[in-house]
């Protein structure tokens, strides 16, 4: 509009500069949070603002390529690194006297769709059969779409899950830093939004131990909830491993109904018996070996059973999947993840911060630009040569 040509290098320099300013502001806010007394860190940040009634924190990891190879053992000199993403949402929901949605959604009883989800997450081999043919005219949904169905989002045909929570305001945290730093970033972000004063609080993640270490250190007063989709794919893999398609599907239907009802402990003895029948996996067993699949599912469900009380979570009006953080990671990956994109560590951090800012519905960049303009002196920032 001003008839000016803006070169890509100029945009790159400005992105780096503004992104670093935001990273510095973020780190200063976290340092201030860490220096507060413990009693303040576990309470309400601003008593003049409304404290939300229902809140959710969900964490997961994305991917980007670093310019330097990772030479640690087991990495085979890979350029790939993990970005860490946290999504914080305020929700609106009601508490019910009983489970408002006791019946498993039909989308999870579609064999072709369930198989596709399990393949995406990597829990079954690509050659696994299903008892019914896939319908070409109706493509199977992605994991994110299935997550939305479980949380009650509209689908085709539309189905609003009874008692589902309604999302109000989302904010996003993203970093290339290590897990310890990431935990403090999410903790400070939750505190700044008065999450610790909420009456109902949920923390959602998949089964990785790092996620639950973060929960124990920073969110122990939040209800821990294992993502239902990950639980479903482990159940599906174990039910179908080493069985015919028909027999495996019948077993899956029964097991997943129990999991949806919060009765996962009832299937653990059956899984243990099945593992005994197959025998322990050998040291060189592949990931698709039925013995390995059943043993992994038994271990995963046993370790996370206390976080799979899905009937109670629905009764409390809490979400049960990580759909929000999954879809947010996809939006971040559009910016940072590609086979031809390589980042320095500092460059990745600045872009991840800006991407998180612009995906946040709390509008942190609007405040940033307003404050930056108000503090401007009107003088050029000259640099000394040499």
Condensed to tens digits (0 to 9), the pLDDT of residues 200-240 reads: 999 999 999 999 999 999 999 999 999 999 999 999 999 99
Residue 239 and residue 362 in one domain = no
Confidence of residue 138 (pLDDT cuts 50, 70, 90): very low
Question: Within a domain: residue 7?
Answer: no
**166-175 and 54-70 beta bridge pairing:** unpaired
Question: Within a domain: residue 5?
Answer: no
Question: Within a domain: residue 384?
Answer: no
The pLDDT score that the predictor gives to residue 148 is 54
The pLDDT score that the predictor gives to residue 208 is 94
Question: Within a domain: residue 374?
Answer: no
Residue 301 and residue 200 in one domain = no
- Closest to 84 measured CA to CA, from 225, 211, 190, 228: 211
Strands, sheet with 54-70, edge to edge from the N-terminal-most edge strand? 166-175, 78-92, 54-70, 200-205, 223-226
| Mean of all residue pLDDT scores within the chain | 87
The pLDDT score that the predictor gives to residue 78 is 84
**Which of 23-32, 42-51, 155-164, 365-374 bottoms out in mean pLDDT, i.e. has the lowest?**
155-164
Number of structural domains found in the chain: 2
Q: Percent of the chain scored above 70 by pLDDT?
A: 86
Per-residue pLDDT at 289 exceeds 50? yes
Q: Label residue 278 exposed, middle or buried (CB < 10 Å: 0-12, 13-18, 19+).
A: middle
Question: Within a domain: residue 31?
Answer: no
Residue 256 and residue 140 in one domain = yes
The pLDDT score that the predictor gives to residue 2 is 81
The pLDDT score that the predictor gives to residue 139 is 45
**Which is more confident, 13 or 131?**
13
> CA-to-CA distance for 239 and 164, rounded, in angstroms?
28
Residue 156 and residue 290 in one domain = yes
Q: What is the mean pLDDT of residues 320-342?
A: 93
Residue 290 and residue 238 in one domain = yes
Residue 129 and residue 187 in one domain = no
Q: Which domain holds residue 248?
A: 106-161+228-315
Residue 295 and residue 240 in one domain = yes
**Which is more confident, 69 or 170?**
170
Last residue within a domain, chosen from 300, 315, 330: 315
Question: Within a domain: residue 377?
Answer: no
In this prediction the pTM is: 0.86
Question: Within a domain: residue 131?
Answer: yes
Q: What is the dihedral of CA 294, 295, 296, 302, to 10 degrees?
A: 100
Residue 311 and residue 168 in one domain = no
Q: Label residue 342 exposed, middle or buried (CB < 10 Å: 0-12, 13-18, 19+).
A: middle
How many Å is the maximal CA-CA distance in the chain? 77
Q: What is the mean pLDDT of residues 103-115?
A: 87
The CATH number assigned to the domain holding 85 equals 3.30.420
Q: Percent of the chain scored above 90 by pLDDT?
A: 67
């Amino acid at each position: 509009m001003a008839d000016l040509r803006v070169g890509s290098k100029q945009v790159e320099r400005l992105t780096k500069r503004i992104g670093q300013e935001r990273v510095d502001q973020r780190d200063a806010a976290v340092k201030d949070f860490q220096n507060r007394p413990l009693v303040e860190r576990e309470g309400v940040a601003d008593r003049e603002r409304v404290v939300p009634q229902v809140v959710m924190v969900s964490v997961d990891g994305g991917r980007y390529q670093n310019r330097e190879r990772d030479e640690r053992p087991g990495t085979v000199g890979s350029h790939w690194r993990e970005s860490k993403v946290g999504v914080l949402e305020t929700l609106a929901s009601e508490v019910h006297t009983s489970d408002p949605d006791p019946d498993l959604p039909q989308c999870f009883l579609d064999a072709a769709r369930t198989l596709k989800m399990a393949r995406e997450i990597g829990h079954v081999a690509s050659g696994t059969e299903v008892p019914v043919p896939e319908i070409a005219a109706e493509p199977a949904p992605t994991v994110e779409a299935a997550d939305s169905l479980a949380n009650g989002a509209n689908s085709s045909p539309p189905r609003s899950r009874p008692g589902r929570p309604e999302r109000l305001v989302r904010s996003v945290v993203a970093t290339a830093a290590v897990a310890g730093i990431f935990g403090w970033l999410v903790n400070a972000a939750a505190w700044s939004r008065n999450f610790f004063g909420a009456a109902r609080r949920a923390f959602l993640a998949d089964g990785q131990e790092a996620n639950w270490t973060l929960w124990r250190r920073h969110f122990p007063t939040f209800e821990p909830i294992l993502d239902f989709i990950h639980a479903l794919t482990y159940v599906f893999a174990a039910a179908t491993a080493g069985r015919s398609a028909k027999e495996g599907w019948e077993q899956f239907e029964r097991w997943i109904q129990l999991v949806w009802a919060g009765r996962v402990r009832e299937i653990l003895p059956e899984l243990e018996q099945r593992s005994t029948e197959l025998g322990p996996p050998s040291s060189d067993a592949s990931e698709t070996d039925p013995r390995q699949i059943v043993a992994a599912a038994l271990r995963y469900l046993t370790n996370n059973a206390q976080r799979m009380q899905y009937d109670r979570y629905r009764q409390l009006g809490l979400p049960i999947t990580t759909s929000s953080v999954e879809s947010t990671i996809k939006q971040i990956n559009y910016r940072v993840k590609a086979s031809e994109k390589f980042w320095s560590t500092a460059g990745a951090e600045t872009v991840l911060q800006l991407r998180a800012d612009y995906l946040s519905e709390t509008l942190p960049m609007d405040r940033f630009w307003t404050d930056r303009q108000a503090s401007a002196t009107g003088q050029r920032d000259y640099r000394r040569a040499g």
